[in-house]
């Protein structure tokens, strides 16, 4: 696995940097360093014609001969660009000894920093790195982004930089400044810069700054984050997360999804799990109200869909009663996503003509269920939050007449890289869950379609088939189970 790097942009203006090597690669690296304003010294026995000309012109210094560790003295950064790994290793070791960052071209093992593929819209720059694991992939992504990013973004960044102090003096609050920047980006300023009309663009920015909109009231967006795979987020969900000042998120919202939110948004975990309501629903309501009344854009980020066992209705009722504006962004609920990722069709014309969504969060939630209707054949039960109540669930269904041989699929961490699927039967359900140490988050699918996971799976590891040899069910067995 490639090392996770800490991304940064280095300010090298006027600082001494060493490039070891005098060939074409060294020339390219030197050109980029000169563009960044560095004072470059090239160390090599011989130089390309271009490097030699730069030396004659006084643009670079030259240390002739083979590499010596003393070359690194007083340097801020070192790049090794020779075609001899032994020399590159000596450069790397010498730099490490002096605690100087070194990049060895195309050798991630010997490098303490990596030079990314860059999309340059100066002063705006976008850097892409694969941590040295797949540089060609980084280059291909750069090629794609080059076609997507407007060349006028550079002049726009420069215009905003020139106006930054005026903007900060006029708009004191960060929320106001963010709203202003959004107005500028959504205005015709970029079109004017693209057309070369920089004076008109600056005049438009000044007009927008002179007429700031009234402070918008705070608001709440209930956002469904899906069951875990970030690629299942909707565009509306991403937009809300980008615009959020505060994110109240459930425990089951995956870290990969939270990484997509705006970096400076305040994150508050308000997760609840069976037997551990460390943040009560009343406290969640209070937090929503507190931040909305402070004028913030609040995202209530929920696993799955807000309106499927997510208490979204309760939260909307609270917001309505307190006059807080709200929106709802639906998410892919766990039953749909986990079933799809496990290869289980929830409906099938030969096996299931309906789907029932059931929560087994507590014994109280199980006590109000119509077990007779749930035990009926030719349907699929999708059981949410059922891990802690598996034995009670089995008992309720068997007592109501469900077949002991009914297939059950246990989908743990559905849609995530750690997804695990166990195919069992209703008779063996508690035993299978215990044998394989099933933990939440896990969804249970009960019905004939659940057996499809054994042959239609496509995502992650192959399912564990824990059905074993099933005895033929008789009337006496059914009565005994009851």
Three-state SS across the chain? CCCCCCCCCCCCCCCEEEEECCCHHHHHHHHHHHHCCCEEEEEECCCCHHHHHHHHCCCCEEEECCCCHHHHCCCCEEEECCCCHHHHHHHHHHHHHCCCEEEECCCHHHCCCCCCEEEEECCEEEEECCCCCCHHHHHHHHHHHHHHCCCCHHHHHHHHHHCHHHHHHHCCCHHHHHHHHHHHHHCCHHHHHHCCCHHHHHHHHHHHHHCCCCCCCCEEEEEECECCCHHHCCHHHHHHHHHCCEEEECCCCCHHHHCCCCCCCEEEECCCECCECCCCHHHHHHHHHHHHHCCCEEEEEECECCCCCCCHHHHHHHHHHCCCCEEEECCCCHHHHHHHHCCCCCCECCCECCEEEEECCCHHHHHCCCHHHHCCCCCEEEEECCHHHHHHHHHHHHHCCCCCCCEEEEEECCCCCCCEEEEEECCCHHHHHHHCCCCCCEEEEECHHHHHHHHHCCCCCCCEECCCCCCCCCHHHHHHHC
Determine contact, residues 334/384, Cβ cutoff 8 Å.
yes
Sign of the Cα pseudo-torsion (346, 352, 356, 361, in order)? negative
Which of these is catalytic: 107, 188, 191, 272?
Answer: 272
Buried b (16+ CB within 10 A) or exposed e, 200-229: ebbebbeebbeeeeeeeebbbbbbbbbbbb
* Catalytic-residue membership of 272: yes
Which of these is catalytic: 245, 250, 305, 466?
Answer: 250
Q: Which residue has the tokens 């087994």?
A: 360
**Residues annotated as part of the active site:** 250, 272
């Amino acid at each position: 696995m490639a090392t996770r790097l800490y991304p940064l942009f280095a300010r090298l203006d006027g600082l001494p940097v060493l490039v070891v090597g005098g060939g074409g690669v060294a020339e390219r690296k030197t050109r980029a360093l000169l563009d960044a304003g560095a004072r470059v010294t090239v160390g090599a026995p011989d130089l390309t014609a271009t490097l030699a000309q730069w030396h004659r012109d006084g643009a670079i210094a030259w240390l002739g001969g083979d590499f010596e560790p003393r070359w690194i003295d007083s340097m801020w950064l070192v790049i090794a660009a020779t075609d001899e790994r032994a020399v590159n290793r000596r450069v790397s070791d010498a730099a490490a000894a002096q605690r100087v960052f070194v990049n060895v071209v195309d050798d991630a093992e010997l490098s303490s920093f990596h030079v990314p593929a860059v999309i340059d819209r100066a002063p705006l720059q976008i850097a892409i790195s694969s941590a040295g694991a797949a540089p060609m992939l980084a280059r291909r992504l750069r090629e794609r982004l080059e076609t997507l990013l407007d060349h006028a973004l550079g002049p726009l960044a420069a215009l905003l930089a020139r106006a930054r102090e005026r903007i900060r003096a006029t708009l004191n609050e960060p929320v106001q400044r963010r709203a202003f920047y959004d107005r500028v980006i959504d205005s015709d300023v970029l079109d004017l810069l693209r057309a070369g009309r920089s004076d008109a663009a600056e005049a438009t920015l000044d007009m927008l700054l002179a007429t700031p909109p009234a402070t918008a009231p705070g608001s709440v967006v209930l956002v469904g984050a899906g069951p875990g795979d970030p690629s299942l987020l909707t565009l509306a969900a991403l937009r809300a997360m980008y615009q959020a000042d505060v994110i109240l998120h459930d425990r089951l919202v995956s870290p990969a999804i939270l990484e997509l939110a705006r970096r400076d948004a305040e994150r508050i975990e308000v997760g609840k799990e069976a037997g551990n309501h460390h943040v009560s629903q009343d406290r969640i309501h209070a937090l929503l109200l507190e931040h909305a009344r402070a004028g913030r854009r609040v995202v209530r980020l929920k696993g799955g869909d807000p309106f499927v066992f997510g208490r979204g209705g309760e939260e909307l009722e609270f917001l309505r009663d307190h006059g807080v504006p709200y929106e709802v962004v639906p998410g892919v609920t766990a039953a749909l996503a986990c079933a799809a990722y496990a290869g289980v069709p929830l409906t099938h014309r030969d096996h299931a003509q309906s789907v029932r969504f059931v929560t087994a969060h507590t014994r109280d939630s199980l006590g109000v269920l119509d077990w007779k209707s749930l035990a009926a054949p030719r349907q699929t039960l999708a059981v949410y939050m059922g891990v802690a109540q598996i034995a009670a669930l089995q008992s309720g269904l068997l007592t109501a007449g469900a077949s002991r041989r009914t297939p059950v699929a246990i989908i743990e961490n559905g849609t995530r890289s750690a997804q695990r699927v166990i195919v069992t039967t209703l008779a063996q359900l508690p035993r299978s869950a215990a044998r394989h140490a099933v933990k939440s988050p896990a969804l249970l699918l009960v019905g004939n379609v659940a057996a499809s996971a054994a042959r239609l799976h496509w995502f992650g590891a192959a399912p564990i088939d824990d059905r074993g040899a099933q005895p033929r069910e008789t009337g006496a067995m059914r009565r005994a189970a009851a």
